[in-house]
Amino acid sequence: MFPEICRWPIWSRSHFDVVDRHWGYEYITSPRQALRNLELSVATRESCLTTTSVSESIAADLDSAARGHLGVTPIGVVENGVSLDRVDGYLAGRNIPRTSRTAIYVGGWNSRVDVDLFERVVQMRPDWTFTLAGGEPTEALQNAPNVHSLGPIEYSDAIRQMASHQVGVVPFADSAYNRASNFLKAYDYLAAGLTVLATPLASMAALELKFPQHVLLADGATEWSSALDKFSSAAPLAPADLHEISSENRVERVLSEMRRYEAG
């Protein structure tokens, strides 16, 4: 979000790739700061020849805020991607057994998470083991006998932890920020061979359409509990199946959006 840099004449072309809702971070408590971030995003878009975003919601926000401004190209929506080679490298030469009835959540433990939902699922399914990596969970989860909290870990270790589990979970709340997000953790889960259980947010619904055998959406603790029983027979995904969500494919899609508006 640096429009003044994008305006430098040294660039032969400039492109703005909006990978997050910069004006909606939970730590921004000032409406004025949130508006300023949105204004910077709009100005950066206007300074660049082309723009992409990871979600329809982000694109809609920017279009709405830029209403009345002329000369901007349409925003192309290009979802996130994962480096399959990097993930494969972390798992190469390691015989990591995948334990049944195990679910893992990797990421920060903050207001994005539907904590009540997750606590209820943990309580309803004592026959499942839930691993949390990346943040400090609530006291109720720390004390639950079927929850294993790892705290912050390196990305390489997170991938190896994922590979030993059966299901990767995305128990996120229905919020404006989450509706605009495209969750990298879901792509990492798939790359590590997990099946994915998530709340029915837009980006997860799109991923379910691409991988209906390996992504399942559930709304509420009862549906989540029932959904866990459906994963026991799901086979690991072959790497070739994931080309559509690879970082290489994403780069090609972004370049394709840029080429659409090349001069001449």
pLDDT single digits (tens) 114-168: 999 999 999 999 999 999 999 888 899 999 999 999 999 999 999 999 999 999 9
Residue with the two structure tokens 């949390």: 132
Q: Look at the alpha carbons of 219, 221, 226, 229 in this order and tell me if their dihedral is positive or negative.
A: positive
DSSP state of 134: S
Predicted pLDDT at 69: 61
Which amino acid is present at 226? Answer: S
Task: Tell me the helices (H) and strands (E) count for the chain, helix number first.
Answer: 12, 9
What is d(CA 239, CA 191) in angstroms, rounded to the nearest whole number?
7
Which are the contacts of 127, defined by CB distance < 8 A and separation ≥ 6?
Answer: 101, 146
Please provide the size of the chain in residues: 264
Predicted pLDDT at 262: 74
Q: Which contiguous run of DSSP H or E holds residue 206?
A: helix 202-210
Which are the contacts of 258, defined by CB distance < 8 A and separation ≥ 6?
Answer: 13, 15, 49, 50
Are residues 221 and 124 in contact, defined by beta-carbon separation less than 8 angstroms? yes
Residue 14 CB coordination number (10 Å): 17
Backbone phi, psi, residue 147, to 5°: -120, 130
Tokens of 63: 């279009």
Instruction: Express each pLDDT in 219-232 by its tens digit.
Output: 999 999 999 988 76
Are residues 196 and 189 in contact, defined by beta-carbon separation less than 8 angstroms? yes
Q: pLDDT band for position 217 (50/70/90)?
A: very high
Q: Which of 179, 189, 187 is nearest to 55 (CA)?
A: 179
Predicted pLDDT at 239: 47
Predicted pLDDT at 263: 57
The answer on pLDDT for 100 being more than 70 is: yes
Which are the contacts of 85, defined by CB distance < 8 A and separation ≥ 6?
Answer: none
Q: Supply the DSSP string of 14-52, one letter for each residue.
A: -EEEE-S-TT--TT---HHHHHHHHHHHHHHHHHSSEEE
* Percent of the chain's residues with pLDDT above 70: 94
What is the average pLDDT score of the chain? 90
